Amino acid sequence: MILLFYIAGAVAVIATVAVILQTNIVHALIYLILSLLAVAVCFYVLGAPFAAVLEAIVYAGAIMVLFLFVIMMLNMGQQSLDQERSWMGPKVWVVPSLLASVLLAQLLTVLSQYDQELALTTVDVMQVSALLFGPYVLAVELASILLLAGLVSAYHLAKK
Amino acid sequence: MTFEVGSGLSIGVILATVIVVAAMLIWVERRLLSFWQERLGPNRVGPFGLLQVVADMIKIFTKEDWVPPFADKFSFVLAPAIIMTVILLSFSVIPFAPGVGVVDSNIGVLFVLAMASLGAYSVMLAGLSSDNKYALLGSLRAAAQMISYEVFMGISILGVVALSGTFNLREIVLAQEENGWYIIPQFIGFVIFLIAGVAESHRLPFDIPEAEQEICAGYHTEYSGMKFGMFFVGEYLGLVLISSLITVLFFGGWLGPSFLPGIFWFSLKSFAFIAFFILLRAAIPRPRYDQLMTYGWLFLLPVSLLNLLITGVIILSTF
Amino acid sequence: MLTLIKDTLTSQVVTLWRVFSHLWVKADTVEYPDEMPYMFPRWRGRIILSRDPDGEERCVACNLCAVACPVDCIALQKTEDEEGRWYPEFFRINFSRCIMCGFCEEACPTNAIQLTPDFEMAEYERQDMVWEKEDLLIDGTGKYHDYNFYRVAGKKIGGKDKGEARNEAVPVNVRSLMP
Ligand code: SF4
Ligand code: SF4
């Protein structure tokens, strides 16, 4: 099982790097979806099946579809490909790489101090829901009010 | 090797059966449609035309498989593979009979929904990579239609999930053994699931993404040979999947009088729904795209939410 | 919303039932190669060249059919016998172009060219679809049994012009306006 976790993790990392390096935006999106699915597998292996499936449904299944939907509307041709390629110059890489290496260093120090075994207890849907509607009910309600507001305003805009 | 849930043998048998059944549906659909339209349908190749499927398969395999030079080859080849993979994966959580199945997942229902939402990529990538106006229009329609109807599909199942208290499809069937089939308490959920299922597998009357009278063949306009065959069989696989899901969720799966094995009852019920979907195709004309969307968001969404609410109230009050 | 539900029940469900009930209706299909459909006598199918009741070729090589043909699939060439009577030296119809419109039959003054109810004309070779006079000419009168063009029109023979024989009317002067 833990081997599966490492494989999925490696897939996620490689796919994410591919997202950044791809110049064709549709291919980049496909890699992003792959990366999200790999993260979902990681969740599943770590004992959070509910989070894994929600990752697949919400992120890979709905949000990325909307991204693709928008790309369909924008007429991406050879021109945008060339533009992307020109942005890939070495100068652009300096600052992001510096920032990323700082983050990596932090992550490594944290990980080196963490010497517990991975606790692989499965948290099933019932427990997650009990938590959501128990201690975190306020957050859930706030989020739902936000979504409701979004729904109502979308309806209003569509009516005009 | 034994034949039990998750053994290699049962995985192989289920995979082969599902694909063969989906391929046979090509013949079944044409025959049934023709009976309802007072024709005879394909009856020349073999007894009753049964070998028509073989003939069609030979044709599909030997036809030129052409990738248009202007297409984005990576996505173009990926698209038909996605639909087949995703739908075949969905079959893995379906409990066909006691001891027959691939996995008994605790998140079976959610897994099916996740796979259905990934299925949208197949259609969208196909249309986008074809670099063709009709294909693009088709996949735009498909994207909107599939995302919207996924929502109602999910909400309509939640009533069943709330009643049985589990996302495990096998346990849902077992719960129906005690409480009776969920078609009775969840009739509205059933109707919504049926409509959303038709829209999700874009079968007629909701085949708006591939409406050939308006936009050629929609997203698979540029496809030929085996890649087109995968879309074609994928559509029938989706039909089988939706029918078996309805059977499992609302009609008690394999439950039935015990003089025949469970798998028989499962197949009988599923086939009844497949036939019903074919009847829908024969009888109902295609709505307009905006009508479909309005119907979904302004009718199905409130009704399915109300259904869920009332189900919740009833469950809580009988606790 | 209630009207929508009512409409669904009264319209869609009734439609479903009506279509379903066709399951018990006998199919209209005629299983063609096993069972020959009835072909109407005036069906426009394979073209023939007929003979008059005396057994002479009817065609006078007037080329009207070739002119009338919308797809130009008739080709013929005129020749004469020693009496000066016209007949086609060759007469060729390319059936791979013919659209069976029947215009040639309409145009023909002698009822020589006629369409028949035979439609089974598939060939493996395209060249086999080109029919010559030997293939087209039949030994009968086709659809019009008593018609003989020269009995109506009269005929010039050696030493006798049109209208000069006994029991023969003078030809109509087509340029006069008198009845
Ligand atoms: S039937 Fe029409 S197309 Fe055929 S030869 Fe006669 S005039 Fe030409
Ligand atoms: S078939 Fe009739 S129309 Fe054609 S050339 Fe002969 S006589 Fe004239």
pLDDT of residue B252: 82
pLDDT category, A59, cuts 50, 70, 90? confident
Q: Is C104 in the pocket of ligand 1 (CB under 6 A)?
A: yes
DSSP reduced 3-state for A57: helix
Contact of B257 with B106, CB cutoff 8 Å: no
Mean pLDDT over residues C83-107, rounded? 90
Listed by start position, the domains of chain C span: 55-152
Do chains A and B meet with 3 or more Cβ pairs nearer than 8 Å? yes
- CA–centroid distance for A160 within its chain: 34
For residue range C123-170, list pLDDT tens digits in order: 899 999 999 998 899 998 888 888 888 888 877 777 778 778 787 788
Which residue range forms the structural domain that includes residue B259? 66-318
Do A and C touch, 3+ Cβ pairs within 8 Å? The answer is: no
| Token pair listed for A47 | 């004992």
Subunits with at least 3 CB pairs below 8 A relative to chain A? B
**C25 close contact with B: CB closer than 8 A:** yes
Find the C141 Cα to ligand 2 centroid distance in Å: 15
Q: Please report, for residues A95, A96, B189, the alpha-carbon distance to residue A90 in angstroms, rounded to integers and kept in the order given.
A: 11, 11, 57
The pTM (predicted TM-score) of the whole model is 0.79
Using the Cβ of C2 and the Cβ atoms of chain B, whether some distance falls under 8 Å is answered with no
CB atoms closer than 10 angstroms to residue B310: 13
ipTM of the complex model:
0.80
Residue B225's region, left for phi above 0, alpha for psi from -120 to 50, else beta, is: left
B123 lies in some domain: yes
- Whether C93 lines ligand 1, by a CB cut-off of 6 Å, is yes
Q: Taking 70 as the threshold, does the pLDDT of residue A119 lie above it?
A: no
Q: What is the pLDDT along chain B (319 residues), one digit of tens a residue?
A: 456 676 778 888 888 888 888 888 888 888 888 888 888 888 888 788 888 888 888 888 888 888 888 888 888 888 888 888 999 888 888 888 887 778 887 788 888 888 888 888 888 888 888 888 888 888 888 888 888 888 888 888 888 888 888 888 888 888 888 887 888 888 888 988 998 888 888 887 888 888 778 888 878 888 888 888 888 888 888 889 999 999 988 888 788 787 888 788 888 888 999 999 999 888 888 888 888 888 888 888 888 889 989 988 988 888 6
Does any domain span residue B37?
no
Structural domain contains residue B201: yes
Residue B184 maps to a domain? yes
Task: Please tell me the number of the ligand nearest to residue C104's CA.
Answer: 1
Tell whether ligand 2 has an atom less than 6 A from the beta carbon of residue C112. yes
Q: Contacts from B255-261 at CB under 8 Å and sequence distance 24+?
A: B255/B173, B255/B176, B255/B177, B255/B181, B261/B97
Structure tokens, B252? 């008690």
What residue segments make up the domains of chain A, in order of their start?
1-104, 124-160
Distance of alpha carbon B16 from alpha carbon B24, whole angstroms: 12
- Range C55-152 classified under CATH 3.30.70.3270: yes
User: What contacts B191, CB < 8 A, 6 or more positions away?
Assistant: none
Q: Is residue B11 part of a domain?
A: no
Looking at domain A1-104, its CATH class is mainly alpha
Instruction: Enumerate residues 6+ apart whose C-beta is below 8 A from C33.
Output: none
pLDDT of residue B213: 80
Residues in chain C: 179
Choose among B150, B79, B67: nearest CA to A30.
B79
Total of domains in chain B: 1
> Around C115, how many Cα atoms within 13 Å sit in the side-chain half-sphere?
21
Q: How confident is the model at residue C28 (pLDDT cuts 50, 70, 90)?
A: confident
Pocket test for ligand 2, best of C65, C90, C93 (most atoms within 8 A of CB): C65
